[in-house]
Amino acid sequence: MARVRETVEIDAPVEMVWAVVHEDFKNATKWTSSLDHVDILTDGLTRKGTELRYTLTTPGGKQQLEVEHTTVTPGKTVAGRFIKGPIKGTWKYAYAEKDGGTRLTYSMDYEPNGLGARLFFGIIEKQVPNDLSKTLASLKKYVESGKGPRPKPAR
Protein backbone atom coordinates (compact mmCIF):
# COMPACT_ATOMS: atom_id res chain seq x y z
CA MET A 1 0.00 0.00 0.00
CA ALA A 2 1.28 3.48 -0.85
CA ARG A 3 0.97 6.42 1.49
CA VAL A 4 1.07 10.15 0.79
CA ARG A 5 0.79 13.06 3.20
CA GLU A 6 1.12 16.78 2.51
CA THR A 7 0.54 19.87 4.66
CA VAL A 8 -0.08 23.46 3.59
CA GLU A 9 -0.53 26.63 5.62
CA ILE A 10 -3.12 29.01 4.21
CA ASP A 11 -3.53 32.62 5.30
CA ALA A 12 -7.31 32.38 5.71
CA PRO A 13 -9.62 31.13 8.45
CA VAL A 14 -10.46 27.42 8.64
CA GLU A 15 -14.12 28.16 7.80
CA MET A 16 -13.13 29.76 4.48
CA VAL A 17 -10.81 26.91 3.46
CA TRP A 18 -13.47 24.38 4.50
CA ALA A 19 -16.10 26.14 2.37
CA VAL A 20 -13.85 26.01 -0.72
CA VAL A 21 -12.86 22.35 -0.28
CA HIS A 22 -16.10 20.80 1.01
CA GLU A 23 -18.93 23.03 -0.21
CA ASP A 24 -17.95 24.59 -3.55
CA PHE A 25 -17.50 21.49 -5.72
CA LYS A 26 -18.48 23.30 -8.94
CA ASN A 27 -15.30 25.40 -8.69
CA ALA A 28 -12.95 22.63 -7.54
CA THR A 29 -11.41 22.49 -11.03
CA LYS A 30 -10.02 25.99 -10.47
CA TRP A 31 -7.57 24.70 -7.85
CA THR A 32 -7.40 20.90 -8.20
CA SER A 33 -4.69 19.38 -10.38
CA SER A 34 -5.93 16.96 -13.09
CA LEU A 35 -9.63 17.41 -12.20
CA ASP A 36 -12.16 17.76 -15.03
CA HIS A 37 -15.28 17.87 -12.83
CA VAL A 38 -17.01 16.59 -9.70
CA ASP A 39 -20.42 14.93 -9.64
CA ILE A 40 -22.28 14.98 -6.32
CA LEU A 41 -23.98 11.59 -6.02
CA THR A 42 -25.93 12.27 -2.81
CA ASP A 43 -28.22 15.11 -1.74
CA GLY A 44 -27.53 17.70 0.93
CA LEU A 45 -24.48 19.19 2.58
CA THR A 46 -21.23 17.30 3.06
CA ARG A 47 -21.85 14.73 5.80
CA LYS A 48 -21.13 11.12 6.67
CA GLY A 49 -22.34 9.09 3.69
CA THR A 50 -21.81 11.83 1.07
CA GLU A 51 -20.60 10.33 -2.20
CA LEU A 52 -18.74 12.16 -4.97
CA ARG A 53 -17.44 11.13 -8.39
CA TYR A 54 -14.25 12.83 -9.57
CA THR A 55 -13.40 12.73 -13.28
CA LEU A 56 -9.64 13.10 -13.67
CA THR A 57 -7.23 13.44 -16.58
CA THR A 58 -4.31 11.06 -16.05
CA PRO A 59 -1.41 9.84 -18.19
CA GLY A 60 -3.62 6.79 -18.88
CA GLY A 61 -6.56 8.94 -20.05
CA LYS A 62 -9.77 9.96 -18.27
CA GLN A 63 -10.43 8.13 -15.01
CA GLN A 64 -13.37 8.25 -12.64
CA LEU A 65 -12.87 7.90 -8.92
CA GLU A 66 -15.77 7.65 -6.47
CA VAL A 67 -15.40 8.45 -2.79
CA GLU A 68 -17.61 8.09 0.26
CA HIS A 69 -17.29 10.32 3.32
CA THR A 70 -17.02 8.22 6.50
CA THR A 71 -16.24 11.04 8.95
CA VAL A 72 -17.26 14.70 8.78
CA THR A 73 -16.48 17.00 11.71
CA PRO A 74 -16.98 20.56 10.40
CA GLY A 75 -13.88 22.70 10.69
CA LYS A 76 -11.77 19.75 11.88
CA THR A 77 -11.81 16.58 9.75
CA VAL A 78 -13.24 14.99 6.64
CA ALA A 79 -12.24 11.40 5.94
CA GLY A 80 -13.45 8.66 3.67
CA ARG A 81 -12.73 5.78 1.40
CA PHE A 82 -12.42 5.18 -2.31
CA ILE A 83 -15.41 3.09 -3.40
CA LYS A 84 -14.95 2.87 -7.18
CA GLY A 85 -12.13 3.52 -9.61
CA PRO A 86 -8.48 2.68 -10.24
CA ILE A 87 -7.42 2.89 -6.58
CA LYS A 88 -8.80 1.69 -3.27
CA GLY A 89 -7.95 2.90 0.20
CA THR A 90 -8.67 5.83 2.48
CA TRP A 91 -8.15 9.61 2.54
CA LYS A 92 -8.39 12.38 5.12
CA TYR A 93 -8.36 16.18 5.37
CA ALA A 94 -7.33 17.47 8.82
CA TYR A 95 -7.76 21.16 9.67
CA ALA A 96 -6.13 23.17 12.45
CA GLU A 97 -6.24 26.89 13.22
CA LYS A 98 -2.78 28.46 13.20
CA ASP A 99 -2.29 32.17 13.98
CA GLY A 100 -5.64 33.10 12.40
CA GLY A 101 -4.90 30.96 9.35
CA THR A 102 -5.32 27.30 8.49
CA ARG A 103 -2.97 24.37 8.64
CA LEU A 104 -4.44 21.72 6.30
CA THR A 105 -3.03 18.20 6.08
CA TYR A 106 -4.18 15.74 3.44
CA SER A 107 -3.24 12.10 3.79
CA MET A 108 -4.07 9.08 1.70
CA ASP A 109 -3.34 5.34 1.90
CA TYR A 110 -4.02 3.63 -1.39
CA GLU A 111 -3.35 0.64 -3.61
CA PRO A 112 -4.36 -0.40 -7.11
CA ASN A 113 -7.90 -1.60 -7.71
CA GLY A 114 -8.01 -4.07 -10.58
CA LEU A 115 -5.55 -5.47 -13.12
CA GLY A 116 -5.26 -2.29 -15.20
CA ALA A 117 -4.44 -0.20 -12.14
CA ARG A 118 -1.88 -2.78 -10.96
CA LEU A 119 -0.12 -2.60 -14.33
CA PHE A 120 0.16 1.20 -14.11
CA PHE A 121 0.58 1.53 -10.34
CA GLY A 122 4.21 2.66 -10.63
CA ILE A 123 3.04 5.64 -12.70
CA ILE A 124 0.12 6.31 -10.35
CA GLU A 125 2.43 6.13 -7.32
CA LYS A 126 4.71 8.79 -8.83
CA GLN A 127 1.88 11.01 -10.08
CA VAL A 128 -0.22 11.20 -6.89
CA PRO A 129 2.37 13.00 -4.68
CA ASN A 130 3.17 15.49 -7.47
CA ASP A 131 -0.52 16.18 -8.13
CA LEU A 132 -1.21 16.55 -4.39
CA SER A 133 1.61 19.05 -3.96
CA LYS A 134 0.38 21.10 -6.96
CA THR A 135 -3.22 20.92 -5.76
CA LEU A 136 -2.48 22.18 -2.25
CA ALA A 137 -0.28 24.99 -3.62
CA SER A 138 -3.11 25.97 -5.98
CA LEU A 139 -5.66 25.80 -3.15
CA LYS A 140 -3.49 28.13 -1.06
CA LYS A 141 -3.19 30.63 -3.93
CA TYR A 142 -6.92 30.38 -4.75
CA VAL A 143 -8.11 30.94 -1.17
CA GLU A 144 -5.56 33.64 -0.32
CA SER A 145 -6.57 35.60 -3.44
CA GLY A 146 -10.09 35.84 -1.97
CA LYS A 147 -11.75 33.43 -4.39
CA GLY A 148 -14.33 30.89 -3.36
CA PRO A 149 -17.50 31.06 -1.29
CA ARG A 150 -17.77 32.80 2.01
CA PRO A 151 -18.36 30.46 4.93
CA LYS A 152 -21.96 30.03 6.01
CA PRO A 153 -22.71 31.71 9.36
CA ALA A 154 -22.91 29.39 12.36
CA ARG A 155 -26.41 28.69 13.59
Residue 57: pLDDT above 70? Answer: yes
Query: Given this model, what pLDDT does residue 154 score?
Result: 55
Q: Which amino acid belongs to residue 77?
A: T
**Band of residue 153 on the pLDDT scale cut at 50, 70, 90:** low
Q: Which amino acid belongs to residue 96?
A: A
Q: pTM of whole model > 0.75?
A: yes
**Band of residue 120 on the pLDDT scale cut at 50, 70, 90:** low
Q: Is residue 150 part of a domain?
A: no
**How many Cα atoms sit within 13 Å of 84 on the Cβ side?**
9
CA separation, residue 98 to residues 8, 11, 91, 95, 114 (Å): 11, 9, 22, 10, 41
* Domain span holding position 86: 2-144
Q: Is residue 152 part of a domain?
A: no
Residue 109 CB-density burial (10 A; 0-12 exposed, 13-18 middle, 19+ buried): middle
| Domain count along the chain | 1
Q: Which domain CATH number covers 40?
A: 3.30.530.20
Q: Is residue 75 part of a domain?
A: yes
Q: Is residue 149 part of a domain?
A: no
Q: Is residue 155 part of a domain?
A: no
